Amino acid sequence: MAKARTHELPACYATTMPGLEDVAGEEIEERLGGEVKKTGPGFVVFRVPEIDASLLRLRTTEDVFLLAWGSDQLTYRAEDLDRIQRWTAQDADWNRLLQLHHAVRPKPKGKPTYHLVAQMTGEHGYRRADAGKAFARGLAGKFPASWKPVEEDAAVEFWLTIHGQRAVCGLRLSDKTMRHRTYKLEHLPASLRPTLAAAMVRLADAQPGQIVLDPMCGAGTILAEQLEAGRGKVRTWGGDLDRAALRAAGVNLRRLGQAQLARWDATRLPLADASVERIVSNPPFGKQLSSPEEIGPLYRQMLREYQRVLKPNGRAVLLVGEPAVLRDAAHQVGWQKHRELRVRVLGQPAAVTVWTRPGGSS
């Protein structure tokens, strides 16, 4: 672990849904010109040429932080507490970090407020509260004593996250709108996390002028992320069997741009053959239907229909709870798989799968 030098920018880290680290790293490299230094379960450490508000516009990350220090050498024993205190007190240039923090998130008017967060997973020989106290001791004198501690909406949040042997410590730059978005006014129980929908949209990589279809759009999270990513240049179509879902999608998408919505059965779409370049969707998981046996027939009918409406060389990005069943269905229509990311959705294992419909030139 190296002491941050004042003449260079500190590293940053982002937290992600486990399974999305690589996609988040790709977004950081492409959109920010960043360099990924390290990834682990649910986090990415990176450097960027500029530390500014563009960090807050990342779509696939849950939160973004300035890195104060990091270690993957915790011992699980109580001696970690001394090290946490020492690293916090000595290995970070808090003045510089706070300056950069204020540049990205200007200080609100009034007395500055702060909040200390200590998270810990794994079996350690000390409690999370002890780690939090060590962290607080390390921070003593690092910011004005007049700052007021608050539980909610603090102007500055100091974070320590311990996961097994690994710890990262820093200043949080993002707030909850990074992961929850502001468009999500209507929720459905099976609605996707926006960061996961954003990752699927990235993997679809639709180009200007192309049509992206979510035939089972639910509350419209994927369409919303596509509208945001496509900046009005990608045509965005969606539909659902359920009227309530379509109403929710209508509300969520209203302020984001033009999406065409229709009520339909995704296994019998009112669309011409070879009419869309991308399909990005998450069909119901087995547990959401009356019986898991229904999933096989649904996936087979669905893929036959998607094969019909997708242009040759078109791409489908599908999030499913039963990837093996989807693989069989995809095999039957001759699709080729490019990528599979293992994630968890509502506590269940799931996979984001990326396919091409082969044949001809598009």
Ligand X SMILES: C[S@@+](CC[C@H](N)C(=O)[O-])C[C@H]1O[C@@H](n2cnc3c(N)ncnc32)[C@H](O)[C@@H]1O
d(CA 96, CA 89): 14
Among 190, 274, 333, 346, binds ligand X (CB under 6 A): 190
Would you say 92 or 302 has its CB closer to ligand X?
302
242 binds ligand X (CB under 6 A): yes
Q: How far is the CB of 286 from ligand X (least distance, A)?
A: 11
Q: How far is the CB of 319 from ligand X (least distance, A)?
A: 8
Q: How far is the CB of 274 from ligand X (least distance, A)?
A: 20
Q: How far is the CB of 218 from ligand X (least distance, A)?
A: 3
Would you say 216 or 234 has its CB closer to ligand X?
216
Closest residue to ligand X, judged by C-beta, is 218
Q: Which of residues 197-226 bind ligand X (CB under 6 A)?
A: 216, 218-219, 221-222
267 binds ligand X (CB under 6 A): yes
How many residues line the site for ligand X (CB under 6 A)?
A: 19
240 binds ligand X (CB under 6 A): yes
Among 188, 251, 262, 333, binds ligand X (CB under 6 A): 188
Q: Which of residues 284-303 bind ligand X (CB under 6 A)?
A: 284
Would you say 52 or 265 has its CB closer to ligand X?
265
191 binds ligand X (CB under 6 A): yes
265 binds ligand X (CB under 6 A): yes
User: What is the CA 179 to chain-centroid distance, rounded?
Assistant: 7
CB 330 within 8 A of CB 358: no
Among 162, 201, 266, 330, binds ligand X (CB under 6 A): 266
Would you say 167 or 197 has its CB closer to ligand X?
197
Q: Which spans of this chain sit near ligand X (rule: CB under 6 A)?
A: 188, 190-192, 216, 218-219, 221-222, 240-242, 245, 265-267, 282-284
